[in-house]
Structure 1
Amino acid sequence: MPDDHDELPDSRAEFLHESPLDPATDARVRRLLADARHDEPMPADVVARLDRVLDGLATERAPAAPVVDLARRRRTAAKLLVAAAAVVVAGVGVGQVLPNLGGSGGGDTQETSAGGAAADQAAPEAAPLDGDASSRTASSGAAEPNPANAARIRSNHFGPDVRRIRDGLDDGDAKNFSAAPGASCLVAPVGPGTVLAATYDAAAAALVLRPPTGDTQVVDLYLCGQDTPLRSITLTTP
């Protein structure tokens, strides 16, 4: 085998130094490269740009942020999911209760008789003190048992039910209703009027028919144990 320091054969040396260009083109390329050589100092704007690039690279290599505790993050996420689920469940529950509170608002506002004239117009209703009818039923409606012949009033048919009861009294059917609720139902004087035992969506209540004034009559509904009316309506007298 030839020694590593042996000179290459002439044929191999010629192959390594051989240019893929023809001699004229090779000479022209070399001349152009020599003319393009830049020996002057680098322009100031180029130097400034390079400095900014280097500063940016140094900033990118700054110490990394501390590692987040993944286990703590998972525990926090689980707590947030549980809280969100509780909010959704509470929202669904409120949505199921609220329709029962306002379902009769449109019907009580104004009704028209067969002749086309306005018959009854509801007075503004008192807002529930505790936020919903179900909580008030639990706290006050249980104070007085519901009489068997109590006037039945539904929250979503408040106007028609009150009108039916009033018209029944005018027709002499008062025997179908209790003369008055129990003594423990009304906790404060309610003023003048005929007081009847009633149920409001199964809650013990009292219906107070005020004396007619002109061609109108106000009717108030009290839940047992409450000193302010839950709902009111103004009816036209027969």
Structure 2
Amino acid sequence: MLDYRKYPIPRIRHHTSPQLYLPVAQHRTIPEWYPPLIDQAPWESWFANGRPADVLDIGCGRGGFLLQHALHRPGQNVLGIEVRHTLVNWINNVIAGEEIPNARAAWYSVVNGLGFIPDASIDHAFYLFPDPWPKKRHYKRRAFSPEFLAEVWRVLRPGGRLYLATDRPDVDEFQRHVLGSMPGVVIRDVVVESDWPFPFVTDQQDFCHRKDIPYVRYMASLDPTS
């Protein structure tokens, strides 16, 4: 169990600049606070064993799920991706302080693709409680898109799954629509707790439990026969 009292969480804005959700190609001028592109991941410095990531936590937030995953499964390298630089620095400070050899957070915007991750190298990926961008005119800021999913399917190993969770019905509907628009995608809902193979929770999931807020979880994968 991590003692987070040793690592005061910095104050952050709940919502981030919409420019962070635009790919580099759509910017006339790149803001200085825009996450840099990653051409080649420095796996040797990110993970103690020098190997690429096995698990991908996209939009890892404060990193609660990322850190617990790494601690529970020390044989897997767990990489979190987050657009908020302050949170990335904080997570990596916890990782360094606790000497967790198989965890890392990267400051990056996933709308620029996952080109630095090798094909068929990821056991499973997570997209948990993303920023909802609830207004319809802001839907274009949602990272969840066919292009995003194509990258996820590329990096997942055969049989690998994308795990999703949200407490927003509109986000759930939106994501299912995008998933349903892609051929060969199979969705499996979490009906009972044993359907979800991870004993640890995200920070938002913990908040939902405490406030009695309903949420949904499901898994998406590609049908190998399609």
TM-score tier by shorter-chain length is under 0.3
Larger Rg over CA atoms: 1
Question: Higher helix share goes to which structure?
Answer: 1
Task: Work out which structure has the larger RCO, using CA pairs closer than 8 Å and 6 or more positions apart in sequence.
Answer: 2
